[in-house]
Amino acid sequence: MLDNYLHILIFILVASLISIAPPILGSLLGPRRAYAEKDSPYECGFAAFENARMQFDVRYYLVAILFIVFDLEIAFLFPWAIVVKELGMAGFMAMFVFLGILVVGFIYEWKKGALEWE
Amino acid sequence: MGFEKLLFYIFAAVTLFAASMVITRRNPVLSALYLVMAFVSSAALWLLLEAEFLGIVLILVYVGAVMVLFLFVVMMLNIDVATLRARFIHYLPLGLIVAGIMVFDMFLVLGPADFGLDQFAKPQSQPADYNNTAALGQILYTTYLYQFEIAAVILLVAIVAAIRLTLRHRPETKYQDPSNQVRVRKGSDRVRLITMPAEPVPPSLTATLGATHTEMTE
């Protein structure tokens, strides 16, 4: 079975070669004449107001966690979609109940306004 | 077999390298990116075990969704590296004790007495047309139906809990609502005409107005 994945292994090798080689070539071949003024951060006009690592709003977290929940739901759908013909009505109802429970959550987040970006 | 063994050692080495980079980097964002590397090489290890669906789900769910969450959490926290480093020595003894207990626990579970090829024989390699995803689906929706529906309830609880914990409405925020904008009618919604009587002009104002008027005509 693993023979089917040989293409992906070759792809990984080529991709890592392409992504690793240019920085190494650049650092080996490129001229490097650093001095203090060149290494100092460039700031246009005025002094920086605050740290660049500013805190994110907590709303991004909500979006990410809702995304994870529905991503997992999709992960459950893949094996079901392959075997649904063999499973017949029982398998169909199993997924129906599964999606029904999650639709309750979906309606909840819709009505709560969690999908709105205020 | 020899080639697979070589691949296993390569991916295991990459996983160990990435995992040690995760815990030694000062910048948490770099740690999160090294964690992506660890996840991808662990997915390759799972593929070597012929658990192809699990390997793909590891990349789909963990790299695709959980890492986004990690990066958001890392950026939501106020990362002041200097104060973190100042407390390092202070927490070192406690950390070493916890780490020692965990290593001991792992040795009890994964030690040579309970682990290795004697206890867990190598799984038979499957033919080329074997479908791991279909095999998983065959038992997941029949034998493990109850656990599968429990998973739905856990996801529902996760949705409700996340919304209850983090949703904050901001009534003061002003924003456009396009569905209201397109429903504006031409007459009453755009311009409101009010009939009102003319205001009486105060005498001081009429004097100045009259003066400028005569100046302009001259």
- The reported pLDDT for the residue numbered A104 is 93
In the structure, what pLDDT confidence band is assigned to residue A10 with cuts at 50, 70 and 90?
very high
Q: Cβ of B167 and A64 within 8 Å?
A: no
H, E, C per residue of A5-42: HHHHHHHHHHHHHHHHHHHHHHHHHCCCCCCHHHHCCC
State what percent of residues in chain B have pLDDT above 90. 29
- The reported pLDDT for the residue numbered B210 is 59
What is the ipTM score, two decimals?
Answer: 0.77
Phi/psi class of residue B89: alpha, beta or left (left: φ > 0; alpha: ψ in -120 to 50)? alpha
Q: Structure pTM?
A: 0.73
Q: What's the CA gap between B58 and B43, in Å, rounded? A: 6
Tokens 């409700």, located at residue: B160
- The reported pLDDT for the residue numbered A53 is 65
pLDDT at B26 over 60: yes
Mean pLDDT (chain B) is 83
Best of A6, A73, A76 to mutate (most B CBs within 10 Å, chain B): A76
Nearest CB neighbour to A66, from listed B131, B140, B159: B159
With beta carbons under 8 A apart, name residues in chain B contacting A58.
76, 166, 168
Q: What is the total residue count of chain A? A: 118
pLDDT at B213 over 60: no
**A110 or B27, greater pLDDT:** A110
Nearest CB neighbour to A61, from listed B73, B159, B169: B73
State in words which class domain B2-130 has. Answer: mainly alpha
With beta carbons under 8 A apart, name residues in chain B contacting A62.
162-163, 166-167
Nearest CB neighbour to A101, from listed B66, B156, B175: B156
C-alpha B151: how far from chain center: 19
In the structure, what pLDDT confidence band is assigned to residue A24 with cuts at 50, 70 and 90?
very high
User: pLDDT (tens digit, 9 = 90+) per residue, B135-169?
Assistant: 888 888 889 999 999 999 999 999 999 999 888 87
**A81 or B218, greater pLDDT:** A81
With beta carbons under 8 A apart, name residues in chain A contacting B167.
62, 112-114
With beta carbons under 8 A apart, name residues in chain A contacting B128.
1, 3-4
- The reported pLDDT for the residue numbered B105 is 92
Count of A–B CB contacts within 8 Å? 155
In this prediction, residues B177-192 reach a mean pLDDT of 80
User: pLDDT (tens digit, 9 = 90+) per residue, B73-124?
Assistant: 887 776 666 666 677 788 889 999 999 999 999 888 887 777 777 777 777 7
Nearest CB neighbour to B65, from listed A57, A67, A91: A67
pLDDT at A107 over 90: yes
**Closest to A75 (Cα-Cα) out of B51, B60, B47:** B60
With beta carbons under 8 A apart, name residues in chain A contacting B170.
118
Q: Tokens in use for A57?
A: 């709003």
Query: A27: distance to nearest CA of chain B, Å?
Result: 21
With beta carbons under 8 A apart, name residues in chain B contacting A52.
none
Nearest CB neighbour to A69, from listed B125, B155, B167: B155
C-alpha angle B31-B32-B34 in degrees, rounded to nearest 5: 65
* Closest Cα in chain B to A71: B61
pLDDT at B14 over 90: yes
User: pLDDT (tens digit, 9 = 90+) per residue, A44-81?
Assistant: 776 666 666 667 777 888 888 889 999 999 999 999 99
pLDDT at B2 over 90: no
- The reported pLDDT for the residue numbered B51 is 86
- The reported pLDDT for the residue numbered B218 is 46
Each domain of chain B, given as residue ranges in start order, spans 2-130, 131-167
pLDDT at B181 over 50: yes
* Closest Cα in chain A to B68: A64
In the structure, what pLDDT confidence band is assigned to residue B207 with cuts at 50, 70 and 90?
low
Q: Cβ of B166 and A59 within 8 Å?
A: yes
Comparing A25-29, B14-18, B188-192, the range with the smallest average pLDDT is B188-192
Sorted by where each starts, the structural domains of chain A and their CATH numbers stand as 2-112 (1.20.58.1610)
In this prediction, residues A92-118 reach a mean pLDDT of 89
Q: What's the CA gap between A96 and A100, in Å, rounded? A: 6
H, E, C per residue of B151-181: HHHHHHHHHHHHHHHHCCCCCCCCCCCHHHH
Contact by Cβ (8 Å): A118, B169: yes
pLDDT at B216 over 60: no
